[in-house]
Chains A and B, each alone.
Chain A
Amino acid sequence: TQLLEQSPQFLSIQEGENLTVYCNSSSVFSSLQWYRQEPGEGPVLLVTVVTGGEVKKLKRLTFQFGDARKDSSLHITAAQPGDTGLYLCAGFMTTDSWGKLQFGAGTQVVVTP
């Protein structure tokens, strides 16, 4: 059972369109990260959110952490083919022992020219 539910599982859009990926849980997280992974490579850390209600921007990517620290979203504006990849949310639950990072199932994003 995934403690972090990601949606949608798959997203295919045209270059220039916007997209949003959601990461939801019934548990509280002390921190939450977003990673992007390309085929045959390891995940690359994009951002970490810590404070409830926090919003972080990374160029065309906007990350939000829910007020209750149970959910997060990733919004990409004017998507480009280089944004293609598997997007993973991950976090440490406040009740978990250190080291056990919980991963969502991932959202495969495909941006076509």
Chain B
Amino acid sequence: DTEVTQTPKHLVMGMTNKKSLKCEQHMGHRAMYWYKQKAKKPPELMFVYSYEKLSINESVPSRFSPECPNSSLLNLHLHALQPEDSALYLCASSQPGGGLGELFFGEGSRLTVL
């Protein structure tokens, strides 16, 4: 069982909808990440939170809005998405600020934008 839990596992939305992806970790980590992964490609970094503050935004379009309410929770708010945003969205956590950089991933949320 993974200690990083993502919900929902599958999401289908229209281009005018507003939805959110949720992530929860119980590993005591203080860094959390959002990655986007297209089929047969490696994960692409979107956002990094360290101690509940946004530390990296990889020039992600504003239709993706991250939120870190506390050290265990990470949300990704979605609005006015495009069909090309359809992908597997992965949440991960780690110890912040160096160390070995080992990431622990959730099982992902499969997003389809119609």
Contacts and interface: CB of A to CB of B under 8 A. Distances in A.
A100 B45 contact: yes
Interface in A82-113: 86, 88, 90-92, 97-101, 103-106, 108
A42 B100 contact: no
Contacts of B33: 99
Contacts, number: 71
A80 interface: no
B43 A103 contact: yes
Interface residues of A, number: 27
B101 A91 contact: yes
A100 B56 contact: yes
Interface string B86-111: 00101010001110111111111010
A104 B45 contact: no
Interface in B49-90: 50, 55-56, 88, 90
A43 B43 CA distance: 9
Given A101-B103, A106-B42, 20 more contacts: A33-B102, A33-B103, A40-B107, A40-B108, A42-B6, A42-B106, A43-B43, A45-B102, A48-B101, A50-B100, A90-B42, A98-B50, A98-B96, A99-B31, A99-B33, A99-B50, A99-B56, A99-B96, A101-B45, A105-B42
15 contacts: A30-B101, A33-B100, A33-B101, A40-B108, A40-B110, A42-B6, A42-B105, A43-B90, A88-B43, A90-B103, A98-B101, A99-B56, A99-B96, A101-B103, A106-B42
Interface of B: 2, 4, 6, 31, 33, 40-43, 45, 48, 50, 55-56, 88, 90, 92, 96-98, 100-108, 110
State the 9 A-B residue pairs at the shortest beta-carbon distance, nearest first: A42-B105, A103-B42, A99-B48, A92-B101, A48-B100, A42-B108, A31-B100, A99-B56, A42-B107
